Amino acid sequence: MNTVYLSLGTNIGDREANLKLAVKLLMEMPGINVKAVSSIYETAPVGFLNQAAFLNIAVRLTTALPAAEMLSACQQIESELGRVREIRWGPRIIDLDILLYNHENIETESLIVPHERMFERAFVLVPLLEIAKEDTAQLLRAQQALQSMDLKKEGVVQWKQSGTAEEFVRSVN
């Protein structure tokens, strides 16, 4: 089994419901077992600043899917929830990014793991490290990167604490 960490973010519509529905869809996919969901963090936008604040979470899962198929599963969920790519780093109903896939370094035309900008983004590192269980070089690097950041300046605030994955999706219709 492969251990995978994802980052999920949203800033359009019912942000909390978007996150919950995306996690529910992950849980319903064959070959994917969601193990943990971080607390929800409200975060300031990055890149394109003229947009609403985001809600972000991290998810730890296990899967038999190869990395490319995991990426396809993430893109399928984005499509199902109505993701439209119009402005780079712009508003989105949902975004699922593969942060880590086992201890692997992957670089293909469509996938880079570890995620190429994760070590620069507190909105990714804070929820990731909340649920991280392994003691890998990548996670140690994430801890070091986060220690050098000012979370208030980065605009990352815990919005709502989460429990188990099942509790997280309980109120999804």
The pLDDT tens digits for 23-55 are 999 999 999 999 999 999 998 877 666 778 899
How far the first Cα of the chain sits from its last, in Å, is: 30
Annotated catalytic, 135? no
For residue 12, the model assigns a pLDDT of: 92
14, 97, 121, 135: which is the annotated catalytic residue?
97
14, 15, 60, 83: which is the annotated catalytic residue?
83
Segments of the chain assigned E as strands = 2-10, 32-37, 40-43, 54-63, 95-101, 106-107, 112-113, 156-160
For residue 64, the model assigns a pLDDT of: 95
In angstroms, rounded to a whole number, what is the distance separating the alpha carbons of residues 60 and 76? Answer: 18
Annotated catalytic, 15? no
* Residue ranges in the chain whose pLDDT is less than 50: none
Task: Answer yes or no: are the C-beta atoms of 63 and 2 closer than 8 Å.
Answer: yes
14, 15, 60, 92: which is the annotated catalytic residue?
92
Structural domains in the chain, CATH included, are: 2-161 (3.30.70.560)
Annotated catalytic, 170? no
Q: What pTM did the predictor assign?
A: 0.90
For residue 30, the model assigns a pLDDT of: 94
In angstroms, rounded to a whole number, what is the distance separating the alpha carbons of residues 43 and 144? Answer: 20
